[in-house]
Chain A
């Protein structure tokens, strides 16, 4: 980093970051003024509707749209044939973004429908009702094929094959010929056999978790307007406007400059809005119809046809000595990718043992296709299911060794200088600190009643860097505007403003943070990967420092001194020399007022690919009570401890911890995709998908540990994803202790738990 001082984050006194100002976009959001994806409308706008496959696996022989086109009010109908073939290449974006060719086929099916709900055709009409009626009049001739609905079915001999021409990639041994295995990879080091031989205790367990959805409350929505020149303007709720632009351009076979994406406010994403679904359809419909087209998914469509995360089958084996030192670890991770390759199994392989010192590890990861929606990133993609296995096995080891579960983890916890199981050595990290904070928390000592149990679990996520751009401009009166390209999904505008305020030395209220469209700011990767406050924040800090350099230069010019003679302290240019010659400090506002006469407007810029993302570790405590007659589980108390590096806006850091915990509790206890035998999701609505409601949860206590990330100028680590990693295991461990059972499958639904209780009795 090129800063204007050499101080490290930890010895700096912060003035603005770490405070809790009202978020800048807050007023619009509490008054209903904020415009989300479906809130935009244009004159002459048409309504789009997608026809979706009623079969989970079928060859599309023929599509006849004549009757639909004949309906009064129908202005355009499109099918897969209206789209160009897209070449295979890696799609850059959220975890498991996969391959462009697959992404194009996921947007609209060509020869084959690969899951129930796969888009087959789309219509634009003058009303939503007419568009819906038109969809019913499209005749599709399907050859229905047997679907593959589970990992076991997919891997069975003689399984129906989703992609006949694809071949497994990765590390041998691989299936020969067509299979549903997209890839098989191995990772590891040391001598696992010897490690297990050295162990006094070995625990091995298998777990299954179902496909689950991010569950954002705002359905995907897009409004597209295409001109006679083919240029499209797209309003949509997305985590990455630049990804929408890049992907849509590829799917439509046009150049990037033909599409401008204006990100609307976004009603949740959690990874699920890092890709495209209706965007290219709306663009093409609007091009064909010559009118703007709005396409909004129903909740049912969100469940059936957007990207949840993988169902998994995980086997973990850990060995430890009598005094609790881990000697070896082995993990086999088998993840559903959905209809196209690209599950988050690689991330799972890298995270599975990451919190622990393990010299001997062997990790195997399988990416397997099934006739279900193609998975998309979901908060710490792949990691929670892997952590479920490791953390429950650790709990069992602690029980068998008679050790406190936190002590066992402390004994093996990674710290600075330890080589991670995924390769490199850790720099400064705060895992041990989270364990110690959890152990000394009153929660950990609170007494438990009958049928109650306490679970401990830990989690890790890398946090991503990727590319970001930022502009900071100074207004004539000394206030400032910060422009970035990351949609604000949870208060990031406030964080950007805080970091700029800190650097500029002006109140955070004087900084207006703006989210710009793809033509108003340089390339910026997704709002995801816990990267916005870290990476885009880094760009904002650099841009603000660019502004400060310019301000110092203006002061130097006014004072007729060298740039080096001018410092920047608390929002003012100061002459560093002992002898001031009557040069009083110049405030930012004073310099801004003179800007036009000292060289023109002051605008700072930064564009970077962020390095040095600091891993985030968490330790969670969960208390539950079990009803032994019905199998119901009540979460009584929950505490999430996590290292934030430096919490820029602590309220929103706490909010990230609490939100991740709530999602994790839902995943552990109730959430799951339930499919019937033909591959139709039976619970495609909020009634039966069962996300936690307010009365299901207790207050969620948080402890923010701050071990600054040495690679970030303000010490920031990403905080968004780690919080969902421990809860699956924390809840499972708590239930196992409360009910005195061993569990092997999520969700821990009442029937499943009651069965386990009755079996153990």
Chain B
């Protein structure tokens, strides 16, 4: 039987070296990795616990952006005042990850690296225009969140690379975001559909910029420019929301599975886009001018 190892590096360079070894997997909260292991979907030969690396374990605010370390547990993200104030949609998406217990461990970085199309924080991050900072043997590179996952369970990370964290550009005046997901129960489910929306308004309350992202309706979370275009120029009236909803439904390319049908996911993509957009408008109107 194969021997497994566990390492807990304290620098990015050490982590990158370890992650270059065959069978190595980064361990942050472990809420996906350990479940995959226990349900027979492969056991790593080397666990690289990245939680002791300062860059991955911190949240920092500077003049231009907010830094969100990849391994910060969800509970700390939700409790962070800056995140709640600046990115309420991301806070609500993070708060939807699993149970209280799961939030004590699961990280936003892990949520993205697992590359599930249904990850709750990913549409919220995409809506915010967040950028991934990736470190590896060749140094650092930056990738927009929407380009990170390439297929279910697959990402742009090469051997030896690790996701260090996210840069979230600070919101423009009169802008805000929202995230909604649909699950059959009230908690403890994987999103059947998730919708993240961010909007920026001018002084007259007209939308000047928008981003709409959907989760669980395609092999990866997707950015839906057509839905965003429907919002731009509007004040969030029902008619504009309906057009955004129709665009979202049209952009959804879901599958039938145990969690929902194609037909259902298409419809609910529109419903959630509409509702999340309405919430984002409402918040933006109340946001700092």
Which residues of A approach B to under 8 Å, CB–CB? 129-130, 133, 298, 300, 629-632, 669-670, 674, 682-683, 685-688, 690, 692-693, 695-696, 749-751, 754-755
Residues of A within 8 A of B6 (CB): none
A550 to B59, CA, bound (A): 76
- Beyond A629-B267, A674-B258, A682-B257, list 19 extra A-B contacts (CB 8 Å): A629-B268, A670-B185, A686-B188, A687-B188, A687-B190, A688-B190, A688-B258, A690-B185, A690-B189, A693-B186, A693-B188, A695-B186, A696-B185, A696-B186, A750-B182, A750-B192, A751-B261, A755-B263, A755-B264
* A114 CB to nearest chain B CB (Å): 22
Whole-angstrom distance between the alpha carbons of A629 and B193 in the complex? 13
3 tightest A-B CB contacts, nearest first: A751-B264, A695-B186, A629-B271
Check if A682 sits within 8 Å of B261, measured CB to CB: no
Could you say which residues of chain B place their CB within 8 Å of the CB of A300?
39
Kindly state the separation between the CA atoms of A631 and B184 in the bound complex, as whole angstroms.
Answer: 9
Q: Is B63 an interface residue (CB 8 A)?
A: no
Task: List residues of chain B with CB within 8 A of the CB of A130.
Answer: 1
Q: Select A754's contact among B38, B186, B267, beta carbons within 8 Å.
A: B267
Q: A693-B185, A750-B184, A754-B264 are in contact. Are A685 and B258 (CB under 8 A)?
A: no
Q: Show 24 residue pairs from A and B whose CB-CB distance is below 8 angstroms, ordered by the A residue.
A: A130-B1, A133-B1, A629-B267, A630-B182, A630-B268, A630-B271, A631-B264, A632-B184, A669-B184, A683-B258, A686-B188, A687-B189, A688-B190, A688-B259, A693-B185, A695-B185, A695-B186, A695-B187, A696-B185, A696-B186, A696-B187, A749-B184, A750-B192, A750-B260
Chain A residues whose C-beta falls within 8 Å of the C-beta of B268 in the assembled complex: 629-630, 754
CA distance A750 to B268 in the complex (A): 10
Which residues of chain A come closer than 8 Å to B261, judged between CB atoms?
A: 751
Produce 1/0 per residue, B238-278, CB < 8 A to A: 00000000000000000001111101100110010000000
- The distance in angstroms between the C-alpha atoms of A686 and B35, with both chains bound, is 12
Kindly list chain B residues whose C-beta atoms are within 8 Å of the C-beta of A749: 184
A298 / chain B contacts, CB cutoff of 8 Å:
38
Chain A residues whose CB sits within 8 angstroms of the CB of B260 once the complex forms: 750-751
Hey, which chain B residues are within 8 Å of A690, CB to CB? 184-185, 189
Rounded to whole angstroms, the CA-CA distance of A703 and B259 in the bound complex is 37
B258 touches A693 (CB 8 A): no
For A632, give its contact among B182, B259, B267 (CB under 8 Å). B182
User: Using an 8 Å CB-CB cutoff, how does the interface string of B79-101 with A read, 1 for contact, 0 for none?
Assistant: 00000000000000000000000
Least Cβ–Cβ distance between B166 and chain A, in angstroms: 26
Residue of B nearest to A127 (CB): B1
Residues in A neighbouring B188, C-beta threshold 8 A? 686-687, 693
Across-interface contacts of A630 in B (CB, < 8 A): 182, 268, 271
Residues from chain B with a CB closer than 8 A to the CB of A695 are 185-187
Give Cα A685 to B188, complex, Å: 12
Residue positions of B touching A, CB distance < 8 A: 1, 38-39, 182, 184-190, 192, 257-261, 263-264, 267-268, 271
Which residues of chain A have C-beta atoms less than 8 A from B187's C-beta? 693, 695-696
Taking CB as reference atom, which chain B residue is nearest A683?
B258
Q: Which residue of A lies closest to B259 (CB)?
A: A688
Closest A residue to B186 by beta carbon equals A695
Write the nearest CB–CB distance from A664 to chain B, whole angstroms: 16
Complex CA distance for A754 and B263, rounded to whole angstroms: 10
Chain A nearest CB from B210 CB (Å) reads 21
In whole angstroms, how far apart are the Cα atoms of A688 and B189 in the complex? 7
Q: How far is the CA of A195 from the CA of B91 in the complex (A)?
A: 63
Q: How far is the CA of A750 from the CA of B39 in the complex (A)?
A: 27
Contacts of B258 in A (CB 8 A): 674, 682-683, 688
Contact in complex: B184, A670 (CB < 8 Å): yes
Distance (Å) between the CB of A296 and the closest chain B CB? 13
B11 to chain A, nearest CB (A): 32
Distance between Cα atoms of A395 and B49 in the complex (Å): 59
CB nearest to B193 among chain A residues = A630
Question: Roughly how many angstroms separate A671 CA and B177 CA in the complex, as a whole number?
Answer: 34
Shortest Cβ distance from residue B152 to the other chain A in the assembled complex, whole angstroms:
15
- Whether the pair A692, B185 counts as a contact (CB closer than 8 A) is yes
Chain B positions within 8 Å of A755 at CB level? 263-264
Question: What residue in chain B is nearest A694 (Cβ atoms)?
Answer: B187
The CA-CA distance from A629 to B195 in the complex, in Å, is: 15
Look across to chain B and name the residue whose beta carbon is closest to the beta carbon of A72: B1
Complex alpha-carbon distance, A480 and B185, angstroms: 48
Across the interface, which residues of A come within 8 angstroms of B267, CB to CB? 629, 754
Complex: how many Å from CA A573 to CA B185?
59
Q: How far is the CA of A129 from the CA of B38 in the complex (A)?
A: 11
What's the Cα separation between A688 and B188 when bound, in Å?
Answer: 9
B219 → A minimal CB distance (Å): 19
Closest to B40 in A: A300
In the complex, what residue of chain B is closest to A697 when comparing beta carbons? B186
Whole-angstrom distance between the Cβ of B127 and the nearest chain A Cβ: 20
Q: How far is the CA of A184 from the CA of B258 in the complex (A)?
A: 33
Closest A residue, CB atoms, query B190? A687
CA distance A387 to B267 in the complex (A): 33
- Please give the distance in Å from A275's CB to the nearest CB on chain B: 26
In the bound complex, what is the Cα–Cα distance between A477 and B89 (angstroms)?
67
- By the criterion CB–CB under 8 Å, are A685 and B39 in contact? yes
A754 to B184, CA, bound (A): 12
Chain A residue at minimum C-beta to C-beta distance from B264:
A751
Complex formed: what's the CA distance from A697 to B260 in Å? 22
Q: What residue in chain A is nearest B188 (Cβ atoms)? A: A693
B257 → chain A, closest Cβ, in Å?
Answer: 8
A749–B261 CA distance with the chains assembled, in angstroms: 11
CB of A638 to closest CB in B, whole Å: 16
A139–B48 Cα distance when bound, in Å, is 34
Contacts of B1 in A (CB 8 A): 129-130, 133
Q: Which residue of the partner chain, among A670, A685, A688, A750, contacts B264 with CB atoms under 8 Å?
A: A750
Q: Closest Cβ of chain B: how far from A248's Cβ, in Å?
A: 29
Chain A nearest CB from B278 CB (Å) reads 13
Q: Which residues of A contact B186 (CB under 8 A)?
A: 693, 695-696
Q: Of B38, B184, B186, which is in contact with the most chain A CB atoms at under 10 Å from its CB?
A: B184
In the complex, A473 Cα to B39 Cα: how many Å? 50
- Bound CA–CA A298/B38 (angstroms): 10
- B2's closest neighbor in chain A, by CB? A133
Bound Cα distance from A630 to B39, whole angstroms: 31
B193 to chain A, nearest CB (A): 9
Q: Determine the distance from Cα of A298 to Cα of B39 in the docked complex, in whole angstroms.
A: 10
Taking the closest CB of chain B, its distance from the CB of A689, in whole angstroms, is: 10
- A300 CA to B35 CA in the complex, in Å? 12
* Distance, CA A507 to CA B151, complexed state (A): 67
User: Separation in Å of the B248 CB from the closest CB of chain A?
Assistant: 13
Q: Which residue of B has the minimal Cβ distance to A674?
A: B258
Distance of B199 from chain A, by nearest CB (Å)? 21
**How far, in angstroms, from A685 to B259 measured CA to CA in the complex?**
13
**From A750, which residue of chain B is reached at the shortest CB distance?**
B184
Chain B residues within 8 Å of A693, by CB: 185-188
B26 to chain A, nearest CB (A): 22
How far is A629 from B264 in the complex, measured between Cα atoms in Å? 10
Give bound CA distance, A300 to B260, whole Å.
21
User: B188 to chain A: closest CB distance in Å?
Assistant: 5
In the complex the two chains form, what is the Cα distance from A755 to B190 in whole Å? Answer: 21
Whole-angstrom CA separation of A669 from B286 in the bound complex? 38
Among residues of B, the one whose C-beta sits closest to the C-beta of A758 is: B267
- Chain A residues contacting B185 (CB-CB under 8 Å) are 670, 690, 692-693, 695-696
In the assembled complex, the Cα of A683 lies from the Cα of B190 at a distance in Å of 12
Bound form: Cα–Cα A692–B259 in Å: 16
What is the CA–CA distance of A696 and B192 in the complex, to the nearest angstrom?
17
Distance of B114 from chain A, by nearest CB (Å) = 14
Interface centre among A669, A692, A754 (most CB of B within 10 A): A754
User: Which residue on chain A has the smallest CB distance to residue B98?
Assistant: A687
State the CA gap A686–B39 with chains docked (Å). Answer: 13
Compute how far the CA of A629 lies from the CA of B268 in the bound complex, rounded to whole angstroms.
Answer: 7
A631 to B263, CA, bound (A): 13
Q: Which residues of B contact A682 (CB under 8 A)?
A: 257-258
Residues of A within 8 A of B38 (CB): 298
Q: Which residues of A contact B264 (CB under 8 A)?
A: 631, 750-751, 754-755
B residues within 8 A CB of A129? 1
Smallest CB–CB gap between A744 and chain B, Å?
17
